[in-house]
Amino acid sequence: MSEVKFSKEHEWITVDGEIATIGITKHATEMLGDIVFAELPEKGSSVEKDGTAGVVESTKAASDVYTPISGEVVDTNQSIVDDPSKINTDPEGSAWFFKLKIKDKSEMDSLMNRTEYEKFAKESAS
Amino acid sequence: MEVKKTSLFNLHQKNGAKFVEFAGYQMPIQYKEGIIEEHKYTRAHSGIFDVSHMGQLFITGSDDLTKELEKIFPTDLTNLSINKSKYSFLMNDNAGIHDDLIITKVQNGFMIILNAACKENDFKIIEKKLDKKFDLKIREDLSLIALQGPEAKYVLEKIIPQSNNLKFMHGNSFSFEDINIYITRSGYTGEDGFEISIDNSKVESFVEILLKNGSKLIGLGARDTLRLEAGLCLYGHDLNETISPIEANLKWAISKNRINSNFPGSNIIKKQIDEGVEKIRVGIKPETKAIAREKTKIFDQNDKLIGNVTSGTFGPSVQGSIAMGYVTNNYSSSNTKVYLEVRGKKIPANVCDLPFYKKNYVKGETNVRS
């Protein structure tokens, strides 16, 4: 499993061979507040880097979830649809959103590592 | 214009509040535990809401004040006994609502609690309509605290021993330390509770005691989910200057013996009562978890636009998506199937009775929402 990478839209991504797992960061969940609804992309659909690939709703507002890289959706996490509060409790673990068959690994190059992301998140929050 | 702070600002900050600007005030939207936990704590125990941004208007004067105010409000004030409260409206000549408010009869006059975003405009309207001999004042020196929930009476009783004798929609003066405070048994969460009007200089120490007695501070976020579960309207969303109380399904708040008298919009109110209305406020329960926010379009099964949502959220106590909105009258009966357009998809939903969440108020008069 590769190092975890992060996007400016507050998604995280890990890669295992051809398959990437994507979710939203703890920082994102803290900004959103209590999450009460999650909508995931359809299995078998293709998503494009930086395109919409889902929705989360908190008690306050709805937010789009973007995909940091392109690919075909091979799996989605039904457990967060059934119990969206899991996204608040374990955002960077069991509450992943979807898995992609990666189209172009070079799209990973522009993403941030943890240190860079934490700096980015801190700056964008202030 | 500078953003105002309430006298509890520092206490909110100390308790980890996240602030938002609301009606020109820095108000706590939530504290550390978040909206859902705050909501549930209020329903299970008790919660403290800083509503000091709301206007506390006092109108005092001679005996003919009551008759003069009845020309402005559709409420029977003549038979309102001292320390009793009524839900009412300030309306325009088309029966559109400038504000929804609570009127309480007090010594020498009336106290009227106004929505924060409306209070300055309300003041101007009422001042213009009233004779100069009456004294009109929004008391900026007073804070307003709501204490809500099944344990509210026990928490308050520890500081104000006689407060639990108050009946619903009744108020009275009590002493706290060396000052007088005014407490009514009322609120806007669907729970038993109180609203406490207290001098700015004392409000922090008063709230500190409530906190020590087991209550918690609750933000505007949970206030919104609580009131929506209780089927209560939020001004500026579910009510505005183009909606009448009859359309808002709040006919019960127009005093029966006032329907044939004169007040702003009285002709239209009477006509709407006699002939019915074209659109009416209803509860809506989506069949999925998707949330239908304000302005969501409502369709019938033939894709005909029949209305729109005015409030929608996740109800933590009913554990699901809930909404209120206006639909064409012939779609307003319970269990009518409707469709909500959320992000381009049509979500099936059912018109339902309000409230979504029901709890008994302490008896004293018929329920405010009977």
3-state secondary structure B298-322: EECCCCCEEEEEEEEEEECCCCEEE
For residue A34, the 8-state DSSP code is S
Same domain, B216 and B284: no
Sheet containing strand B193-199, edge to edge, reads B171-176, B179-184, B193-199, B142-148, B47-50, B216-217
> How many CB atoms are closer than 10 A to CB B320?
16
Interface test with B, best of A58, A59, A65 (most B CBs within 10 A): A59
Mean pLDDT of A120-124: 90
Same domain, B217 and B326: no
Domain assignment present for B161: yes
Report in angstroms the alpha-carbon separations of A45 from A18, A54, A101, B105, B225: 16, 12, 11, 64, 35
Contact between residue A98 and residue A22 where contact means Cβ atoms under 8 Å apart? yes
pLDDT at residue A124 in the model: 82
pLDDT tops 60 at residue B342: yes
Q: Which residue of B has its CA nearest to A85?
A: B36
pLDDT at residue B360 in the model: 53
B29/B19 Cα distance (integer angstroms): 6
Residue B358: pLDDT band with limits 50, 70, 90:
confident
Domain assignment present for B87: no
Domain assignment present for B72: no
Q: List, in sequence order, every residue forming a beta bridge with A62; answer none if it has no partner.
A: A57
Share of chain B above pLDDT 90, in %: 95
Considering only CB atoms, B314 lies closest to which of A55, A59, A88, namely: A59
A10/A28 Cα distance (integer angstroms): 6
Share of chain A above pLDDT 70, in %: 98
Identify the burial level of A48 via C-beta atoms within 10 angstroms of its C-beta, where 0-12 means exposed, 13-18 middle and 19 or more buried.
middle
Contacts of B256 (CB under 8 A, 6+ apart): none
Q: Does B344 touch chain A (CB under 8 A)?
A: no
Distance from CA of B347 to the nearest CA of A (A): 13
Mean pLDDT of B231-255: 97
B347/B292 Cα distance (integer angstroms): 9
B300/B275 Cα distance (integer angstroms): 24
Q: Which of A55-64, B159-168, B270-279, B309-318 is predicted with the least confidence, judged by mean pLDDT?
A: A55-64
What is the predicted ipTM? Answer: 0.84
Q: Please, what's the largest Cα pairwise distance for chain A?
A: 39
Same domain, B221 and B291: no
B33/A56 Cα distance (integer angstroms): 19
Same domain, B192 and B308: no
pLDDT digits (tens, 9 = 90+) for B102-154: 999 999 999 999 999 999 999 999 999 999 999 999 999 999 999 999 999 99
pLDDT at residue B363 in the model: 52
pLDDT at residue A61 in the model: 87
Contact: A33, B34; criterion CB under 8 Å = yes
Mean pLDDT of B210-223: 97
Mean pLDDT of B246-271: 96
Report in angstroms the alpha-carbon separations of A46 from A66, A102, A107: 13, 10, 15
B216/B208 Cα distance (integer angstroms): 10
Contact between residue B229 and residue B63 where contact means Cβ atoms under 8 Å apart? no
Mind giving me the DSSP string for B323-345? Answer: EEEEEEGGG-STT-EEEEEETTE
Residue A3: pLDDT band with limits 50, 70, 90:
confident
Report in angstroms the alpha-carbon separations of B36 from A27, B217, B273: 19, 13, 39
CATH placement of domain A5-104? 2.40.50.100
Using the 3D structure, point to which of B166, B195, B229 is the last residue of a domain.
B229
CATH number where B190 lies: 3.30.1360.120
Mean pLDDT of A77-97: 97
Same domain, B38 and B159: yes
Domain assignment present for B300: yes
Using the 3D structure, point to which of B214, B229, B244 is the last residue of a domain.
B229
Distance from CA of B19 to the nearest CA of A (A): 13
What SS3 class is residue B249? coil
Mean pLDDT of B318-324: 96
pLDDT at residue B368 in the model: 45
Q: Does A19 touch chain B (CB under 8 A)?
A: no
Contact: A60, B35; criterion CB under 8 Å = yes
Distance from CA of B303 to the nearest CA of A (A): 24
Q: Considering its fold, how many domains does chain B have in total? A: 2
Domain assignment present for B267: no
For B:13-32, CB contacts with A below 8 A are: 29-30
Range of the domain at B353: 279-363
Contact between residue A61 and residue A55 where contact means Cβ atoms under 8 Å apart? no
pLDDT tops 50 at residue B8: yes
B230: tokens are 């209780």
pLDDT tops 70 at residue B366: no
Mean pLDDT of B17-41: 96
Same domain, B30 and B159: yes
Domain assignment present for B116: no
Distance from CA of B316 to the nearest CA of A (A): 9
**Residue spans per domain, chain A:** 5-104
B335/B284 Cα distance (integer angstroms): 9
3-state helix, strand and coil shares in percent for chain B, rounded to the nearest 5:
25, 35, 45
Radius of gyration (C-alpha) of chain A in whole angstroms: 13
Q: Does A2 touch chain B (CB under 8 A)?
A: no
For B:268-297, CB contacts with A below 8 A are: 289-291, 293
pLDDT tops 80 at residue B330: yes
Interface test with A, best of B32, B36, B341 (most A CBs within 10 A): B36
Contact: B314, A37; criterion CB under 8 Å = yes
Q: Which residue of A has its CA nearest to B225?
A: A59
pLDDT at residue B370 in the model: 32
pLDDT at residue B340 in the model: 98
